[in-house]
Amino acid sequence: MMPMTPSEAKNIVVLGVQWGDEGKGKIIDVLSEEVDVLVRYQGGNNAGHTVIAKGEEFVFHLIPSGLLRPGRVGLLGNGVVIDPAVLIEEMQLLEARGINTVDAVKISDQAHVIFPYHKRLDLAREASGDRRIGTTGRGIGPCYMDKVARMGIRIGDLIQPEALAEGLKQNLKEKNRVLETSYGEKPINFDELFAEYSEYAKVLAPHVVNGSLLLREAMDANKKILFEGAQGTMLDIDFGTYPYVTSSNATAGGACIGSGVPPTAIDCVIGVLKAYTTRVGEGPFPTEFSEGMMEEIRTRGNEFGATTGRPRRCGWFDAVIAKHSVWLNGCNSVAVTKLDVLDGLESVDICVGYRLGNETITHFPSDLKTLNACQPIYETMPGWQGATSDASCLEELPPEAQTYLKRLEQLIGIPVSLISTGSAREQSFKTACW
């Protein structure tokens, strides 16, 4: 029998059901109060999870954001791609602010390592203008390409000097050829690269573990585990708006593949969604605002990337996307964030379907050509005038905001279990179905 609520469940996945930046960091922070082990299972430092705790802001790129709470263990699973320099810097910054990473951070020996050639190839390809995706330029795609091409260097290799040297020698032959001939760039020097990464290896070695085994033992010991998704469902390499996606499986299935636990171990999935929609980078976005509204919501919601600082594109809530994601991920409930950003609007639109020629569809098309031909169909709801940010329960929200949330629940078919109305830890409350 599958437990339905986050408080009953043992192994919970929290993930974004839009295009990322849904405010997962904050929800994870709230949840991590009850959790022992936190796991990142895909993506890399393309992610930026912001948590505001006791008035201080923390931005996490690789380390699970739940580690803000003392005594927790945070695992970077095999599905994550790791830039060692970024990870070490993040650990040092957290240590300097009193957060223990020495004993808390664990890294799967099967996670892949990002090297400078990955970043250079990512940036060079984007700059060439061919098939521009609007990536974060962190080398994420090229690193996953090497993983799938079976030429990646894993954390377990990084900490073994012979394996690192051999892997780098082989890879540099090909990478330098591409950098020089395709992009007219300088080659990368083996000795310098080997020396730099050998230093990183010394720092990271004490953190390296068999990730799947760590989780198995945690489950045997009846620990509560939280799997933190990065990016969002619509950026999933298979089910997102391909090719305008990231290079990993950001959907719930990715939690198993990217950490080494069986699907039957997951007993609760919480989808996180904004009360409206945003995306960064290129690609389709059916409910995108036009100029005036774009600026207004971007400013109110401070919609600038936590990793790259890029302005996010903003639009109305798209129930077609949300419903698609809720099904794909098997979400039990959703957490709605940034409701306060819509405060004071005269009316609020929700996209309830797409017009495709003479047809109305309510499923998300699986190909881009069809999606590009779709026009959103909106339902207009009355806005609310009071502030939502001081509410501590559903009943304290303005009646129109309650109606808006009820309508979202109806459209996506599952309940809202948590509502966030501001960036502070305290500005959120659980509903009866938590």
DSSP three-state, residue 88: helix
Task: State which residue, 86 or 356, has the beta carbon closest to ligand IMP.
Answer: 86
Q: Specify whether the CB–CB gap between 164 and 155 falls below 8 A.
A: no
Beta-bridge partners for 207 = none
By beta-carbon proximity to ligand IMP, the closer residue of 246 and 332 is 246
Q: How far separated are the first and last CA of the chain, in Å rounded?
A: 18
Binding mask 211-250 for ligand IMP (x = CB under 6 A): -------------------xx---x--------x-xx---
Residue (of 256, 418, 411, 255) closest to 337 by Cα position: 418
Binding ligand IMP (rule: CB under 6 A), the pick from 64, 77, 79, 141 is 141
Distances (CA, A) of 10 to 125, 224, 282: 43, 5, 37
Residue of minimal CB distance from ligand IMP? 281
Q: Is 49 a catalytic residue?
A: yes
Q: Report the residue number, 32 or 46, with the smaller CB distance to ligand IMP.
A: 46
Q: Bridge-partner residues for 112, per DSSP?
A: 81, 154
Footprint on residues 276-295 left by ligand IMP (CB under 6 A): 280-281
Binding flag, residue 140, ligand IMP (CB under 6 A)? yes
Question: Per DSSP, what are the bridge partners of residue 359?
Answer: 356
Residues 6+ apart with CB under 8 A from 108: 75, 76, 77, 78, 80, 155, 208, 209, 210, 211, 212, 259, 260
Q: What does 221-286 look like in DSSP terms, one character per residue?
A: TT--EEEE--S-GGG-TTTSSTTSS-SS--STHHHHHTTT--GGG--EEEEEEESSEEE-SSS--T
Closer residue to ligand IMP in complex, CB, 230/272:
230
Of 127 and 195, the one with the shorter C-beta distance to ligand IMP is 127
Which residue among 49, 61, 118, 324 is the active-site one?
A: 49
* Residues contacting ligand IMP: total by CB under 6 A: 20
Say whether residue 20 binds ligand IMP (CB under 6 A): yes
Q: Minimal distance in Å, beta carbon 139 to ligand IMP?
A: 8
Q: State which amino acid sits at residue 27.
A: I
DSSP codes joined into one string, 380-416 = EEE---S-STT-SSGGGS-HHHHHHHHHHHHHHSS-E
* Smaller CB separation from ligand IMP, 6 or 20: 20
User: Which stretch in 3-11, 131-139, 170-178, 284-292 sits in contact with ligand IMP by CB under 6 A?
Assistant: 131-139
Residue with tokens 């990231």: 246
Q: Is residue 243 reached through a cis peptide bond, with omega within 30 degrees of 0 on the bond before it?
A: yes
Among 32, 45, 101, 135, binds ligand IMP (CB under 6 A): 135
CB of 205 to ligand IMP, least distance (A): 27
Stretch that binds ligand IMP, among 4-12, 127-135, 150-158, 391-399 (CB under 6 A): 127-135
Applying CB under 6 A, among 4, 133, 163, 387 the residue interacting with ligand IMP is: 133
Q: Closest distance between ligand IMP and the C-beta of residue 145, in Å? A: 11
Residues designated as active site? 21, 49
Q: Which residues bind ligand IMP (CB under 6 A)?
A: 20-21, 46-48, 133-136, 138, 140-141, 230-231, 235, 244, 246-247, 280-281
